[in-house]
């Protein structure tokens, strides 16, 4: 009876201390400790390490939920061979986050549409979350519209301040912002607010020389570019569109997808030989 009372009391105490992982596993650890004759310090270290691991797992899960990353975009499935000007080693170093996120530095990805910028940006964001950083991925036009609403409600400053909890703000497709004074002004205020304080990752189809198409005021264009590049790593991805390459491959193989890439029922089925019709 006393053992039962002690167990209930321990569960109550662990609830009060907010140690849910230890609450679940401590009986098994205690049983093993009794059988193997662990010292008290080893038992305590084992359950404490389990609690820390579970907290890390829950934190990553929570941060992934708020990050709004593109689904399925990872460094493992990014085709570095198709973008030879991008160093995999450099990207891996950036994914640690140390040194640039701590100082509010930026990362800018240039290249034509379909070159993999969004994929790489989202994959970097995922890797950083796994390292413990907080990230938000957003289409620039969508975020700018939300900030415009906040301005109309006299809450722009609070809206921008709420983004400061993110170590990295990824603005995808910045060139698609409408050349409108209201939109570009809130974008400029966001860039200015994060300057040298919080990092940004920008993807853009156009080089800086054409950013006059984004910001209607030349002075604002110069000021925005100056703030973004002052502490920035710039990666140029000047390759053919991935979507265009995929379309050409489909055209070469005829209608539909090649058999070796088709549905699961075709897995393991060798491609048809030359001079033999497909079944």
Locate the domains of the chain by residue range.
2-67, 80-236
pLDDT for residue 218: 81
In this structure, what are the phi and psi dihedrals at residue 168, rounded to the nearest 5 degrees?
Answer: -135, 130
Query: What whole-number distance in Å separates Cα of residue 224 and Cα of residue 188?
Result: 6
Mean pLDDT lowest among 143-152, 179-188, 192-201: 179-188
- CATH superfamily label, 80-236: P-loop containing nucleotide triphosphate hydrolases (3.40.50.300)
Q: What pLDDT is attached to residue 176?
A: 74
Mean pLDDT in residue range 41-55: 90
- Whether the per-residue pLDDT at 278 is higher than 80: the answer is no
Backbone phi, then psi, for 151, in 5-degree steps?
-65, -45
Residue 254 has pLDDT above 50, yes or no: yes
Mean pLDDT computed over 169-184:
80
What pLDDT is stored for residue 202 in this prediction? 95
Across 49-63, 139-153, 177-191, 259-273, least confident range: 259-273
Higher pLDDT pick, 68 / 253: 68
Residue 5 has pLDDT above 60, yes or no: no
**Identity of the highest mean pLDDT range in 168-172, 187-191, 224-228:** 168-172
How far the first Cα of the chain sits from its last, in Å, is 72
Give the CB-side neighbour count of residue 31, counting CA atoms within 13 A: 4
pLDDT higher than threshold 80 for residue 212 = no
117: closest CA among 175, 68, 167?
175
Q: Looking at 54-58, 105-109, 141-145, 179-183, which range is the least confident one?
A: 179-183
Mean pLDDT of 67-76: 96
pLDDT exceeds 50 at position 193: yes
pLDDT at position 167 over 70: yes
Query: d(Cα 133, Cα 126) in Å, to the nearest integer?
Result: 9
């Amino acid at each position: 009876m006393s053992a039962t009372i002690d167990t209930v009391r321990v569960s109550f105490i662990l609830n009060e201390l907010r140690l849910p992982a230890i609450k679940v596993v401590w009986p098994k650890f205690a049983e093993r400790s009794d059988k193997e004759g662990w010292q008290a310090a080893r038992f305590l270290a084992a359950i404490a390490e389990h609690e820390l691991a579970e907290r890390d797992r829950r934190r990553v899960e929570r941060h992934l939920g708020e990050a709004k990353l593109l689904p399925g975009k990872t460094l493992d499935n990014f085709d570095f061979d198709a973008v030879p000007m991008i160093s995999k080693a450099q990207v891996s170093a950036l994914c640690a986050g140390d040194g640039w996120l701590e100082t509010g530095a930026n990362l800018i990805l240039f290249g034509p549409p379909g070159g993999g910028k969004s994929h790489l940006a989202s994959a970097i964001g995922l890797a950083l979350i796994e390292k413990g950083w907080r990230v938000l991925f957003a289409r620039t036009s969508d975020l700018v519209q939300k900030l415009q609403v906040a301005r109309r409600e006299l809450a722009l400053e609070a809206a921008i301040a709420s983004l400061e909890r993110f170590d990295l703000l990824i603005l995808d497709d910045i060139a698609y912002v409408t050349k409108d004074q209201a939109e570009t002004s809130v974008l400029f205020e966001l860039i200015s607010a994060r300057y040298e304080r919080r990092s940004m990752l920008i993807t853009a189809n156009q080089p800086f020389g054409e950013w006059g198409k984004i910001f209607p005021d030349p002075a604002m264009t110069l000021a925005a570019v100056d703030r973004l590049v002052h502490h920035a790593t710039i990666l140029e991805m000047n390759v053919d569109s991935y979507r265009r390459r995929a379309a050409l491959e489909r055209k070469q193989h005829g209608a539909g997808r090649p058999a070796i890439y088709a549905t699961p029922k075709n897995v393991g089925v060798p491609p048809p030989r030359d001079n033999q019709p497909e079944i």
